[in-house]
């Protein structure tokens, strides 16, 4: 704002651009699969995405990717042993929110910053 840029316009354009890319991705995905079932838009899909971002750490590009990798790994690993894998993922989500509210990367960043300040 202090540099003379119209902040509202830039936020608005980035929102439109993100929506356009999301729409294009949805169209390409539907075209590739040939059919979009109601299973693809269930609540669990949105919750898993939220869990991926919260687990890895919001505000970074690497954090949600790390969270996605961990959630997919846990989902595949735990579902082999039990049919109640959603309950276990819910427990993991609660633990992450309670003990690492900024995600894994945010918590690691805070701990390394604190360790650097201690050693200095």
pLDDT along the chain (120 residues), means of 10: 82 96 93 85 82 86 90 87 82 87 87 84
Residues 15 and 72 in one domain: no
* Alpha-carbon gap, residue 107 to 105, rounded angstroms: 5
pLDDT of residue 48: 83
Residues 16 and 46 in one domain: no
Residues 46 and 104 in one domain: yes
Q: Domain count of the chain? A: 2
- pTM value is 0.65
Residues 59 and 12 in one domain: no
Residues 76 and 54 in one domain: yes
Residues 29 and 51 in one domain: no
* Alpha-carbon gap, residue 14 to 21, rounded angstroms: 10
CA angle centred on 108, ends 120 and 100, rounded to 5° = 130
pLDDT of residue 16: 97
Give the chain's largest Cα–Cα span. Answer: 59
For residue 50, the enclosing domain spans 39-119
pLDDT of residue 10: 92
Half-sphere exposure of 16 toward its Cβ, with a 13 Å CA cutoff? 6
Residues 113 and 76 in one domain: yes
Residues 77 and 47 in one domain: yes
CB burial readout 44-71, b (16+ within 10 A) else e? eeeebeebbbbbbbeeeeebbebbbebb
Residues 14 and 52 in one domain: no
Is the Cβ–Cβ distance between 57 and 16 less than 8 Å?
Answer: no
* Alpha-carbon gap, residue 53 to 70, rounded angstroms: 11
Is the Cβ–Cβ distance between 56 and 105 less than 8 Å?
Answer: yes
Residues 15 and 59 in one domain: no
């Amino acid at each position: 704002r202090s540099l003379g840029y119209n902040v509202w316009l830039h936020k608005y354009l980035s929102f439109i651009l993100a929506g356009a890319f999301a729409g294009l991705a949805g169209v390409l995905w539907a075209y590739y699969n040939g059919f979009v079932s109601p299973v693809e838009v269930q609540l669990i899909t949105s919750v898993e995405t939220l869990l991926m971002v919260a687990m890895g750490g919001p505000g970074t590009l690497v954090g949600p990717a790390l969270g996605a990798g961990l959630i997919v790994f846990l989902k595949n690993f735990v579902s082999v042993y039990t049919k109640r894998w959603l309950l276990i993922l819910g427990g993991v989500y609660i633990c992450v929110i309670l003990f690492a509210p900024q995600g894994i990367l945010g918590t690691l960043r805070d701990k390394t910053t604190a360790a650097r300040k201690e050693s200095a």
